[in-house]
């Protein structure tokens, strides 16, 4: 069997299992006496072992085998869950992840798993039961003899895979592991050891001792994927309409409506398929061009004033909008796909710094464009590590300050209009404004007459490249690249960063991102003959400029808007054009996080969905643009980066 073409599928399945392994390890560390985490670990590792053996990844198979052996010792109660054991298991999980990635990349020769394998063997052998290997062999022989005698199980499940299922042996392993969660597996046909053979035809029979209902069995087995039919027969004669076959005690098959019914059973429609992300990117690019063309058609239709043409363009516009919505929705994925790895990041950082952290994650079901989700992972890691290193105190310091020895770190994702908000909050000591101000004085960044900083000024300072108040560099932070990297990356994604901190109470950093990077709705504003696009995410409202609403406060223009006083900007100043002497114009009320301002423009020409194109600014050019777009009349327009304006 040519396994190379299944490498990506193996990697995807393995990543799911690695995530399960890390979560189970964290749960086991929290509750060392619990049985459920050990069972979850064993199942995930066993699945990886079976898949890697099928793929021919020897190092991964060996490593997972040794890890499974150690977990079996722990599961039997022959080895206590200690700190040293947990360190060994976490290290083995890291080694397993690296081995999988290198093996899939065709670089298995670069895997150095010797130390991890030795550590696992040493941990497994350090048990009071020195005869454990012999006991294990006797147990296996007993199970083998039991399989030969093959008593009739209470429930028989016949699983038929879909035709041309990739990695059929792996799917069969998964089905067996799923079945194991329902009860005790009495027998399987063929034996799991024979699944790797070329003669496996995709048909698997599992004998179960379980109290689960037929519906539950069907659901659990189908969750293994690529399952065409599930036939369930009970020893008492009850059936779900499909029969099954299983060798009886004499080796003869247990007959029934069996194969005929299962062959005729209708296949359940599959609701999920895997699509290469590059294909979705191509579709998004095409729909972007289609949106631009739609705008052009709408403008031409308006000028020609031909009813039939107008009707056709309107219908086409609706279809394009539906297609656009469908493609954009298909790119949306829940943030848990990235958030899943953060508990392990927090755990490792906390242990390295000798701190106790209670990590809470909320809003994992919030959806974000896949391309954005891939990009936001590293900035969040920076924020979490900074919070643990700089924000949270050591247990002794927290007790001295009247706090719980365990710090609280929260990661929250939420929807806010057309944006996604990600917030990292800790209950630590807060940012030391005096130290930041002193460092800023040393670097000449702030006038020495200043004796205090606002939250916004504080953020701008610590987000400067290389700015750091850390007294020493650690493996976690201290090089002045944390908040700088976050700020730069989020800005590049069209988002904003906001920070609030209070001495002794903690710090909260909020990242606001557009739900998608490709197509956004924008307000079109003109100054002179130039048109600029303002993302609607930051537009609160628009008002006509009236002279009696403009005031001067401390030498700066402000707009009095009902009960609010907004600092006033001029788009002409932003793009370095001379102001017009005549009055009038429009004011756009902008909002970025908790900050608000008004921006004066010459004219507003309407709203439009725009396709964001990458923008490479000229050297020494203005840094107030986040991209460019093509309008309906074919004229390019620059997109304002609102967060950089105030």
Task: Give me the average pLDDT of each 10-residue run along the chain (646 residues).
Answer: 68 86 91 88 88 85 91 87 90 92 88 87 67 42 40 84 80 84 85 70 87 88 86 71 40 38 37 71 86 86 89 92 86 86 90 93 88 84 90 94 94 84 93 86 83 82 73 50 75 82 91 78 90 89 83 84 87 87 78 84 89 65 76 83 80
How confident is the model at residue 127, as a pLDDT? 54
Query: What is the pLDDT at residue 470?
Result: 61
Which 3 state secondary structure label does DSSP give 182? coil
What is the pLDDT, as a whole number, of residue 169? Answer: 80
The whole-number pLDDT of residue 519 equals 80
Phi, psi of 517 (to 5 degrees): -95, -20
pLDDT at 99: 92
Q: What are the contacts of 259-264 at 24+ separation with CB within 8 A? A: 261/231, 262/158, 262/160, 262/229, 262/231, 263/160, 263/229
Instruction: Return the sign of the alpha-carbon dihedral for residues 113, 6, 50, 44.
Output: positive
- Closest by CA to 590, choosing from 554, 633, 624, 632, is 624
pLDDT value of position 476: 54
Catalytic residues: 46, 68, 386
Report the alpha-carbon distance of residue 285 to residue 426 in Å, rounded.
40
Residue 4 has a pLDDT of 66
Q: What is the pLDDT of residue 247?
A: 39
Note the pLDDT of residue 130: 37
Give strand ranges (E) for 258-355: 332-334
Instruction: Supply 538's token pair.
Output: 């930051």
- Is the pTM higher than 0.85? The answer reads no
DSSP 332-383: EEETHHHHTTHHHHHHHHHHHHT-EEEEEEE-TT-EEEHHHHHHHHHHHHHH
Three-class DSSP category at 22: helix
Q: State residue 143's pLDDT score.
A: 41
Q: What is the pLDDT of residue 472?
A: 55
Distance between CA 510 and CA 379 in Å, rounded? Answer: 12
What size, in residues, is the chain?
646
Distance CA 209, CA 218 (A): 15
* Cα 271 to Cα 248: distance, rounded to the nearest angstrom: 37
- The pLDDT of residue 5: 66
Q: Confirm if 60 and 103 have CB atoms less than 8 A apart.
A: yes
- Residue pair 586/604 in contact (Cβ under 8 Å)? The answer is yes
């Amino acid at each position: 069997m040519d396994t190379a073409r299944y490498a990506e599928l193996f990697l995807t399945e393995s990543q799911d299992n690695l995530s399960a392994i890390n979560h189970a390890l964290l749960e086991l560390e929290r509750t060392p006496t619990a049985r459920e985490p050990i069972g979850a670990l064993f199942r995930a590792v066993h699945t990886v072992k079976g898949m890697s053996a099928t793929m021919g990844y020897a190092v991964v198979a060996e490593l997972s085998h040794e890890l499974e052996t150690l977990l079996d010792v722990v599961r039997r109660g022959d080895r206590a869950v200690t700190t040293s054991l947990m360190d060994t298991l976490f290290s083995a999980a890291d080694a397993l992840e690296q081995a999988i990635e290198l093996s899939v990349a065709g670089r298995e020769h670069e895997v150095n798993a010797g130390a991890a394998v030795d550590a696992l063997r040493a941990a497994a052998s350090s048990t009071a039961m020195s005869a454990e290997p012999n006991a294990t062999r006797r147990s296996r022989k007993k199970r083998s003899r039991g399989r030969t005698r093959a008593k009739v199980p209470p429930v028989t499940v016949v699983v038929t895979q879909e035709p041309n299922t990739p990695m059929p042996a792996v799917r069969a392993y998964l089905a067996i592991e799923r079945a194991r969660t329902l009860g005790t597996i009495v027998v399987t046909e063929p034996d799991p050891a024979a699944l790797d053979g070329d003669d496996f035809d995709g048909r698997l029979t599992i004998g179960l001792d379980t109290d689960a209902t037929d519906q539950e069995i069907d659901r659990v087995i189908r969750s293994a994927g690529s399952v065409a039919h599930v036939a369930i027969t009970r020893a008492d004669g009850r059936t779900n309409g499909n029969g099954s076959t299983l060798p009886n005690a004499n080796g003869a098959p247990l007959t029934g409506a069996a194969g005929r019914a299962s062959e005729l059973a209708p296949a359940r429609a599959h609701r999920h398929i895997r699509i290469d992300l590059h294909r979705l990117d191509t579709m998004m690019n095409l729909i972007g061009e289609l949106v631009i063309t739609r705008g052009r058609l709408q403008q031409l239709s308006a000028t020609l004033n031909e009813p039939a043409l107008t009707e056709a363009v309107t219908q086409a516009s609706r279809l394009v909008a539906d297609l656009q919505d469908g493609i954009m929705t298909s790119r949306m994925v829940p943030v848990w796909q990235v958030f899943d790895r953060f508990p392990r990041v927090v755990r490792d950082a906390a242990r390295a710094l000798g701190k106790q952290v209670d990590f809470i994650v909320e809003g994992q079901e919030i959806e974000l464009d896949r391309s954005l989700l891939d990009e936001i992972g590293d900035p969040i890691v920076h924020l979490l590590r900074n919070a643990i290193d700089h924000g949270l105190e050591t247990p002794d310091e927290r007790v001295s300050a009247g706090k719980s020895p365990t710090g609280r770190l929260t990661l929250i994702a939420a929807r806010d209009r057309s944006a996604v908000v990600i917030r990292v909050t800790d209950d630590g000591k807060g940012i030391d404004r005096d130290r930041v101000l002193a460092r800023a004085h040393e670097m000449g960044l702030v006038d020495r007459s200043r004796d205090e900083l606002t939250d916004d000024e504080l953020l701008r300072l610590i987000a400067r490249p290389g700015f750091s108040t850390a007294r020493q560099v650690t493996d976690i932070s201290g090089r002045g690249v944390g908040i700088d990297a976050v700020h730069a990356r989020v800005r590049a994604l069209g988002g904003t960063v906001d920070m609030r901190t209070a001495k002794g109470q903690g710090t909260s950093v909020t990242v606001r991102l557009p739900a998608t990077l490709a197509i956004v709705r924008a307000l079109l504003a003109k100054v002179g003959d130039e048109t600029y696009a303002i993302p609607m995410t930051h537009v609160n409202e628009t008002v006509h400029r009236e002279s009696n609403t403009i005031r001067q406060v401390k030498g700066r223009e402000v707009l009095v808007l009902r009960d609010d006083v907004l600092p006033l900007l001029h788009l002409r100043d932003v793009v370095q054009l001379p102001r017009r002497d005549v009055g009038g114009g429009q004011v756009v009320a902008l909002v970025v996080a908790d900050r608000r301002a008004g921006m004066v423009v010459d004219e507003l020409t309407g709203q439009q969905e725009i396709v964001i194109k990458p923008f490479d600014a000229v050297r020494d050019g203005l840094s107030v643009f986040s991209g460019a777009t093509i309008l309906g009349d074919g004229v390019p327009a620059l997109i304002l980066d609102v967060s950089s304006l105030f």
